[in-house]
């Protein structure tokens, strides 16, 4: 197995283990909400003026699928739609008070998991972080280019532009 394969398998294993470790606590704390709903709540809570197009691009889903998802969240009273006074065509979403509770609960869980894993990250030097972040950015740009070759516009994504 070459080093590229080892890196990909290593990242996949890391993510799978994180998901496995976090899953039961997430499911217990966020009963009644699917993972896609929680991530939609997270996106809406973290981003300014989220709409169907931005959500679809962020989750690599169709606008139709996002419309169904946001409709469910509206019906559950988690999000609400709004329009800007100067743009009556576009529909945006924001969290309701109930949605903010779910958002904060999800954030608390992420903080708990981050605290659990802190011991590992405390051993990483700034240089090592910079190398890992550089790799993630380069690989992300490469995958973005491959996605664009398939005709998907991802220009509004900003995962690694922090």
* Reported pTM: 0.80
φ, ψ dihedrals at 40, nearest 5°: -65, -45
d(CA 77, CA 82): 14
Q: Which CATH number fits the domain 3-123, given the four candidates 3.50.50.60, 3.40.50.300, 1.10.10.10, 3.30.460.80?
A: 1.10.10.10
Closest-CA residue to 99 (of 42, 25, 26, 31): 42
d(CA 113, CA 152): 33
d(CA 39, CA 22): 14
What letter does residue 153 receive in the DSSP assignment? -
Q: Which residues have C-beta within 8 Å of that of residue 93, sequence separation ≥ 6? A: 44, 50, 51, 55, 70, 79, 80, 81, 82
Q: List, for residues 76-99, the tens digit of each pLDDT value.
A: 999 999 998 888 889 999 999 999
Domain positions in the chain are 3-123
Q: List, for residues 33-81, the tens digit of each pLDDT value.
A: 998 999 999 999 999 999 999 999 888 888 999 999 999 999 999 999 9
């Amino acid at each position: 197995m070459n080093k590229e394969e080892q890196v990909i398998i290593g990242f996949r294993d890391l993510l799978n283990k994180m998901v496995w470790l976090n899953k039961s606590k997430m499911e217990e704390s966020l009963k009644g909400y699917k993972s896609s709903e929680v991530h939609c709540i997270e996106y809406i809570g973290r981003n300014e003026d989220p709409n169907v197009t931005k959500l679809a691009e962020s989750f690599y889903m169709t606008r139709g699928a996002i419309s169904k998802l946001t409709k469910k969240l509206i019906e559950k009273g988690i999000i609400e739609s709004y329009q800007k006074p100067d743009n009556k065509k576009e529909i945006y979403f924001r969290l309701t008070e109930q949605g903010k509770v779910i958002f904060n609960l999800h954030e608390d869980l992420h903080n708990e998991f981050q605290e659990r894993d802190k011991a590992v990250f405390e051993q990483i030097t700034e240089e090592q972080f910079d190398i890992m972040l550089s790799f993630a950015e380069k690989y992300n740009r490469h995958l973005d280019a491959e996605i664009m070759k398939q005709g998907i516009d991802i220009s509004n994504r900003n995962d690694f532009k922090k």
